[in-house]
Amino acid sequence: MKSSNTLSLGFSPCPNDTLIFYGLAHKYVGAEINWNLHIDDIQSLNSLAITNTIDVAKISYNAFGHVASKYVMLGAGGALGRGVGPLVVSREPLSDLEGKTVAIPGSLTTAHLLLRLSQPDTIKMVPVRYDMIMPSVSSGEVDAGLIIHESRFTYEDLGLYKYIDLGAWWEESTGLPIPLGGIAAKRELGWQRLLRIEEIIRESLEFGQQHLSEANSYIAEHAQEMSAEVRQQHIDLYVNDFSIDLGPSGRAACRALLELSAERNLIPKVPQDLFLTA
């Protein structure tokens, strides 16, 4: 069991994450732990978990499926919901994706997993950093792009067309909310310590919500020229009741995604104890 009072924590620069971790990052909550912060894109955070080199991190459920034997999913801080899924967009309207080249935001993203579950195997997938996917589609470098985060609010501004909403596909197929990412923590930290970490993250989210005007400068600092309107849309969409606690439907959605993916041999078979429980 790891006993050091210093823990590494990774989260993305997206507004939902910087709101959730504002209180923790500024030592308003969880100050008994010395947090070594890593703020990076989701694919980089996924890679840190895959290599077992970060203690606590926001990662995609696709990546979690590969590391669930060493990490457990916490109940707070995640991104789940309805109407929040990734989109496939194109420069011209498409009738199908057969044989098309599609830019994806990383092979370990949940978006990629949903694309594999829902679309033909003949798609050629090209990894592209998430904020460069729409420019790649606009320029004609690829036939279509799999977009995540704030891109769902801005793709029409670039004259792009929606081919499919993969979140809507998932909801219609399963009746469950779409699980995008969550906070995974090393099992070796020990259950009681993990419960405290989960509590700190929940406290940090509540602090950020109660002090949004103060948190806004921190959120904007990391939001990559995103407008205030888009930042707020992002928060409204991705910070919700599931961010406070996964609850039964959130856990059911996560388990369904991972088990369906394992059946298709897209991820390893996952353990039964996926989630932190009191």
Report the b/e string of 137-160 with b at 16+ CB within 10 A.
bbeeebbbbbbbbbbbbbbeeeeb
CA atoms within 13 A on the CB side of 205: 22
Would you say the CATH fold of 87-174 matches that of 6-81+179-263? yes
145 pairs with which residues across the strands?
89, 103
Cβ atoms of 90 and 137 closer than 8 Å: yes
pLDDT at position 9, please?
98
pLDDT at position 106, please?
85
Under CATH, what is the fold of the domain 6-81+179-263?
A: D-Maltodextrin-Binding Protein; domain 2 (3.40.190)
Which portions of the chain are predicted below pLDDT 50? Answer: none
pLDDT at position 69, please?
95
- For 275, which DSSP code? B
For the chain, what are the domain ranges?
6-81+179-263, 87-174
pLDDT at position 226, please?
79
Options 3.30.930.10, 3.40.190.10, 3.40.50.11750, 3.10.20.340; CATH for 87-174 is 3.40.190.10
pLDDT at position 20, please?
98
Tokens linked to 105 = 């935001």
pLDDT at position 277, please?
87
The closest of 86, 31, 36 to 61, measured between CA atoms, is 86
pTM reported for the whole predicted model: 0.91
Sequence-ordered strand ranges (E) for the chain: 6-11, 34-39, 56-60, 71-73, 79-81, 87-90, 101-104, 124-127, 144-147, 161-165, 178-186
**Residue 112 annotated as catalytic:** no
Catalytic residue among 38, 66, 112, 149: 149
pLDDT at position 249, please?
95
Instruction: Tell me the three state secondary structure of residue 55.
Output: coil
pLDDT at position 278, please?
67
> Distance between CA 129 and CA 86 in Å, rounded?
15
Residue 115: which H helix or E strand, with range? Answer: helix 110-118
